[in-house]
Amino acid sequence: MTQRSSRPADTRARLGLLAVLGPVLLVSMDGSVLFLAMPKISRALAPGADQALWILDVYGFAVGSLLIAFGNIGDRYGRLRLLMTGAVLFGIGSACAAFAPTAELLIAARAVMGIAGATLLPSALAVLSELFTDPKRRARAIGVFAAAFAAGFAIGPVVGGVLLAHFWWGSVFLVNLPVIAVFLYVAPGLLREVRAPRAGRVDAVSVVTSASGLLLVIHALKHTAAQGVTVPASAAGLAGAALLTWFGLRQRHLEHPLIDFSLFRERVFTIAVVTGLLPLAAWSAVAYLAGVYLQSVLGLPVLRAALLALPGAAVLTVTCVVTPALVDRVGTRAALLVCHFSIAAGLLLLLPAAATGGAGWYVASTVISGVGYGISFAVVADTAVGAVPPERAGSAGALAETSNEIGNALGIALLGSLAAVLFRLQGPDLAPTLDETLRVPGLARAAAADARSAFVTGLRVAAATAAALHVALGLVALRWLPRSARPRESAARPRTSTATP
């Protein structure tokens, strides 16, 4: 009788997991789906250099800066309620983005999608904890959740490229709507409300100062990269730095801080969080720059560019799935070393790429670095949570998840701005971006060649910079991490599902 009665619960749990994976896949996929779409968006909306970067990374900044805050809000007011609200908002933002007539409105729609994404991720994890009450089954379910999240990042450019080969650029957003509609239809019957019994208060001042400070600093960097040093950009950068400093000081005196900076006293935790941030920064920046390189420099059709990204996406996804079993045998230290050095090696394979050819180097780069990216997705949360006492696991898990989203946005902002500076300094100085330069009426063949060469230089320098940072972090991990470092069994994935401080 017990076995029979458990079958409906098991079926509900599996169907609930499938329902939750839809929005999760969309949230991660929309962090990368535009990488191959930017040349078409540039032709349609003619964004400036800084606007093009904002189109790409305002989504990641919105998700990353609000992820922890919405985790707390969900604990107080109900995870399922927030999950449903976020899904509706994500659908509205997607529809607005698909038909945005200007770059400014597209940026605003992407920001709305990012805010919605910040509600979906922590709420989805918490709802899974209600579906799977057995710790082992819950760990497997959250492992599937992590794999789906990684797969979304990996296949985003591929999905975008396939859609763009047949439809206009807005189709990369409209594809979200059927998934959201199905989720809203089935979720009320499969999922139940989840609340924390003693949820902490959300400090609104911390949310506003952290998000505003980040946006001001990044705006200053992008404006400087596109147009050089100006008084308004410098003032914005200083104001942003002041807000972030005040934010950090404020956290020390709050009962429920948005970010518990004292966790960073633990070296293993620090390395885990930086490992969540740096690989995503490298991957997002290089994927975006490589998308422009394949289409605007080498002149490849968007579908062929998407297919060239497929081997790396497959390696990343498979590595994410098999890594937990390998970590149990070799330990976290060895896994993190392979992570950083394989990413560095893959990035360095982009250095031989040239304006006249280099698609093969691109594929080799994504395959080798895909191993490291997959490892980073699979081990960061467990390593961060396992490095702190059990009562602080929620904060550690939230920071680990946030580091991924912030890394995704920072990579495009910082490394993308670095590439933009080099293009501005070495290019023909006819327009701030490659696509704008190639559209200049009567452009001479020599000027077009110079523009493509300058862009390739920016790609190489961005890749080399990211590779150097990974080598440095790998050496730090080699020195700081104990040889026996591995996630504690008591700190396995189920505890990361809270995603709240």
pLDDT by residue for the chain (501 residues), tens only, comes to: 444 445 666 777 788 888 888 888 888 888 778 888 888 888 888 887 778 878 888 887 788 778 777 777 776 677 788 888 889 999 999 999 999 999 999 999 999 998 888 888 777 767 776 777 776 777 677 667 777 777 787 788 888 888 888 888 899 899 899 999 999 998 888 777 766 555 556 778 888 888 888 888 887 877 777 677 788 888 988 998 999 899 889 988 887 787 778 888 888 888 888 988 899 889 888 988 998 899 889 988 888 888 888 898 889 888 888 887 888 888 888 888 999 999 999 999 999 998 888 889 999 999 999 999 888 887 887 777 777 776 566 567 667 777 877 887 788 888 888 888 899 888 888 877 888 888 888 888 888 899 999 999 999 999 999 999 999 999 998 888 876 655 444 334 433 333 332
SS (H, E, C) 392-428: HHHHHHHHHHHHHHHHHHHHHHHHHHHHHHHHHHHCC
Fold of 10-202+256-498: Growth Hormone; Chain: A; (1.20.1250)
pLDDT confidence of residue 99: 94
* H helices, E strands: number in the chain: 18, 0
Residues 494/142, Cβ–Cβ less than 8 Å: yes
Please tell me the predicted confidence (pLDDT) of residue 488.
Answer: 46
The pTM of this model reads 0.79
Nearest-angstrom CA–CA distance, 152 and 441: 39
62 in Cβ contact with 114 (< 8 Å): yes
Do 220 and 257 touch, CB atoms closer than 8 A? no
Are 238 and 246 in contact, with CB atoms under 8 Å apart? no
From CA 147, how far away is CA 313, in angstroms rounded? 12
DSSP 478-495: HHHS-TT----GGG-GGG
d(CA 382, CA 114): 25
